[in-house]
A and B are shown apart, each in its own frame.
Chain A
Amino acid sequence: MDRNQIKKWLESPGKMGHKYSLWAVYFCTGCGIIEIPPVITSRWDAERFGVLPAPSPRQANLFLITGYVSVKTLKAIIKTYEQMPEPKYTVGFGSCPINGGMYWDSYNTIKHLDKYIPIDGWIAGCMPRPEAIFIAVTHLWTLIDKGMAKGYVKYRENYGRYRENQEKALGKLEWPRLFPIKDENE
């Protein structure tokens, strides 16, 4: 551990703590999930990077959106995301959440996931290899260090518009609002 690291630990121990222990939500949203088992098992061993799956979103701070998101899954994703405690980070896998991917003309998949929940990082590929997932984790560390991984803050501040988009895609949501909606015109 170099001097820089020690300094960082002393300055913001909380940030460093959650940066090096990212608990991923155990949720197979799309086909990208097929590369998660290799990543968390012995061959690639994501635990070296402090990444492990957490059984419940309540104990997780990393949400890997693994691939395409159908309308029905989007509902589950929003529910899960809103259950996660802050600070929380999201990573979109592969082409599909970025711009629709293969399913760009499907009537039942979401094309731009960042219209509905904030995403802190995207990984290119269809699907991303385990190596790319590791590099993504190191990039996420940098973003957390620099304070750029602020998706959850954005969600809180723009909740009204996110909620509006969500309801456009899903119809009326049956659960109550997570945050009180600020007046847009203020």
Chain B
Amino acid sequence: MRELELYFGPQHMGMVGNFSITLKVEGDRILQAISNPGYLHRGFEKLMEYRTWIQNFPIVCRMNVVEPDSMEMIYAMGVEKLAGLEVPERAHYLRSVYLELARVGSHLFGLWAYSNMLGFDTVAQWAMYHRDLVLDLFEELTGGRVYHIYIWPGGVRRDFPKGFKDKIVSALHSIGGCVPDYNNTFFENRLFYDRAKGIGKISQKEAMELGAAGQVLRATGMKYDIRKIQPYAAYDKVDWEVPIREEGDAYSRILVIRDEMIESVHMIFKLLDVMPEGPVYHRIPNPFKWTIPRGDAYVRIESSRGELGLYLVSDGGDKPYRAHFRTPSYPHGLIILERLLKGASVADVGNIMISLYVVAPEIDR
């Protein structure tokens, strides 16, 4: 059979995000897949070198549109570590609740993408509706639907508005109440099971070798979660479990996502119960004069897609000298995707890509 070169994306019904894969195919079988990122490259880290420490807050969150919140968090953590800023106790809890809400929203978006891709339209509609409920919460809390700019060095930007706790609880209850429906129509649906089981299988050893993290690694049976390993915010203040699966295929990855979402909802309830009162913000120095001592720092958190790291360098000036993000989609989208696509069928490209939870802007930056 003749070997063909197939351009998959960026304008393609099976592609989520502005990403492209060049496939060398023979019939339906993929001989080689080459990730072709860069459609969303804005040179973020270069732009950050032109902006002062505080001016970078509105811009870092733009790096990942699906879950901007973890980007805010990691930059705030990096700045706090370099500058030695203190964060009030309550702000830690607010940050955790906020990040977990973001995780729920992000996973629901992933669920929309996955179910939409595989043709489970009902689930896609639900997931997007439920994500909108989370976005309404964000709008109430931060004033922005998508880009929130809420986490600030030294705390958070505003406290909870009045009655916000009840709104979180009722929104999460209406999402949680739909979990049996999700299970029936999607996760435990035979059609979906057959479609996803055994697809894009990766062993734990290979995943480790290729630098995987997040769901990709947890679906192979390793409880690797930065929130547990190196707790930040208020993740060590409540009990919670790291959900894992053993099989390492697309199906187990999506189940890990589902279990994480449920775990996040429980965690938010627990955090809301034990949240202390008090100030939420320690004022940062005057933004026009704020300089951070020379030095470098590496911080990492668990975003909804895996390990998110930031290597931040200051030369003692009022702007970062260099910032470099280790985004979770980077190894997933550029190495593991290429590996898993090799030998797969063309019909499974989107399936595998979304199960790896590849978010294109995060790779390109």
Contact = CB atoms under 8 A, between A and B. Distances in A.
Chains A and B bind each other? yes
Interface stretch (B25-33, B124-132, B251-259, B269-277): B124-132
Interface in B116-140: 116, 124-126, 128-129, 131-132, 135
A30 interface: yes
Given A37-B112, A72-B41, A57 B128 contact: no
Contacts of B124: 41
B46 interface: yes
Contact of B129 (A31, A42, A68, A80): A42
A28 B16 contact: yes
Given A38-B131, A43-B128, A70 B145 contact: no
B146 A28 contact: no
B42 interface: yes
Interface stretch (B59-67, B232-240, B298-306, B323-331): B59-67
A26 to B, nearest CB: 6
Contacts of B128: 37-38, 41-43
A34 B145 CA distance: 10
A31 B13 contact: no
Interface in A3-52: 25-31, 33-35, 37-38, 41-43
A72 B132 CA distance: 31
Contact of A38 (B18, B42, B132): B132
Given A26-B11, A42-B125, A126-B147, A103 B39 contact: no
Contacts, number: 95
B58 to A, nearest CB: 7
A31 B62 contact: yes
A127 interface: yes
A107 interface: yes
Interface size class of B (residues with CB under 8 A): 35 or more
Interface in B199-220: none
25 contacts: A28-B10, A28-B15, A28-B360, A29-B18, A30-B18, A31-B146, A33-B18, A33-B65, A34-B65, A34-B146, A37-B109, A37-B112, A38-B128, A42-B125, A57-B11, A68-B40, A68-B42, A70-B38, A70-B39, A72-B39, A76-B10, A79-B11, A102-B47, A127-B145, A129-B145
A132 to B, nearest CB: 11
A105 B131 CA distance: 33
Given A38-B128, A42-B126, A72-B38, 18 more contacts: A26-B12, A28-B17, A28-B360, A29-B18, A31-B146, A31-B361, A37-B112, A38-B132, A43-B128, A57-B11, A70-B40, A70-B41, A70-B364, A73-B39, A106-B46, A106-B47, A107-B43, A108-B42
Contact of A27 (B11, B50, B59): B11
A80 B62 contact: no
A106 B129 CA distance: 35
A80 B18 CA distance: 13
